[in-house]
Amino acid sequence: MIGRMEESRVGDTLRRALFQRSFKQRQCSHLGSIEQTSPERFECAACLEEGTVPVHMRMCLVCGEVACCDSSPGLHARRHYEETGHPLIRSIEEGEQWVWCYPDRAYLSRAPE
Ligand SMILES: [Zn+2]
Ligand SMILES: [Zn+2]
Ligand SMILES: [Zn+2]
């Protein structure tokens, strides 16, 4: 028997898979701007400052800035992109290494080496 919690998790996984598929074909023209692929910390500095609570953590692949995701109230990763123009972020959640390009709206299953 499947509980309510598990059902919603299955739904999330399915939604994410569909989302990923719809953006996977897109090409990213910014891979040359990658400077950093592993994070030095796991906290969103802007959240600590503003008192918002991050949901998931992302890292800018250009300068290594660690910030919170679009589901977080602070939207600090997006704000970092808007302020700096750094196009690529990756997930630094446990076991995740997918990359998202804001301007190309392209999804990569992992950062290129
Ligand atoms: Zn791109
Ligand atoms: Zn934040
Ligand atoms: Zn950056």
The answer to whether position 58 is within a domain reads: yes
Taking the centre of ligand 1 as the mean of its atom positions, its distance from the CA of residue 87, in whole angstroms, is 6
Total domain count, the chain: 1
pLDDT tens, per residue, the chain with 113 residues = 455 555 566 677 777 777 767 777 788 999 999 999 999 999 999 999 999 999 999 999 999 999 999 999 999 999 999 999 999 999 999 999 999 999 999 999 887 76
What is the model's pTM? 0.81
Taking the centre of ligand 3 as the mean of its atom positions, its distance from the CA of residue 5, in whole angstroms, is 35
- Distance spanning both ends of the chain, measured CA to CA: 42
Take residue 1 and report the two structure tokens written for it: 């028997």
- Residue 7's pLDDT is 58
- Residue 104's pLDDT is 94
Residues near ion ligand 3 (Cβ under 5 Å): 60, 62-63, 65, 84, 86
CATH code at 74? 3.30.40.10
- Residue 39's pLDDT is 94
Which ligand lies nearest to the CA atom of residue 107 in the structure?
1
Domain that holds residue 43: 4-108
